[in-house]
Amino acid sequence: MSFHSKRGQGATEYLVLLAVVLIIALIVVILLSWFPGVSADTRISESRSYWMSARPFSITEHRVAGKNITLVILNTKGERITLNNITIDGYDINISSVTFGGGEARAVNGTLKDECGDVGRLFEYDVAFYYDTKEVKNIVFTSGKPLIGRCS
37-150 has CATH 1.10.287 classification: no
**What is the model's pLDDT at position 38?**
59
- Predicted structure pTM score: 0.73
Q: What is the mean pLDDT of residues 79-96?
A: 94
Domain locations in the chain?
Answer: 4-34, 37-150
Spatial separation of the C-alpha atoms in residues 99 and 119, rounded to whole Å? 32
* Cα–Cα distances in angstroms (integers) from residue 81 to residues 11, 59, 98, 107, in the given order: 60, 15, 8, 15
Neighbours of 58 (CB within 10 A): 16
Neighbours of 2 (CB within 10 A): 5
Give per-residue pLDDT as tens, 28-66. Answer: 887 766 665 557 888 899 999 999 999 999 999 999 999
d(CA 10, CA 91): 61
Contacts of 77 (CB under 8 A, 6+ apart): 55, 56, 102, 133
pLDDT for res 148: 95
* Contacts of 81 by beta carbon, 8 Å cutoff, 6+ apart: 56, 57, 75, 99, 100, 131, 132, 133
- The chain-wide mean pLDDT, for the chain, equals 89
Helical (H) or strand (E) element with 50: helix 36-52
The answer on pLDDT for 146 being more than 80 is: yes
Residue 19 in this model has a pLDDT that exceeds 70: yes
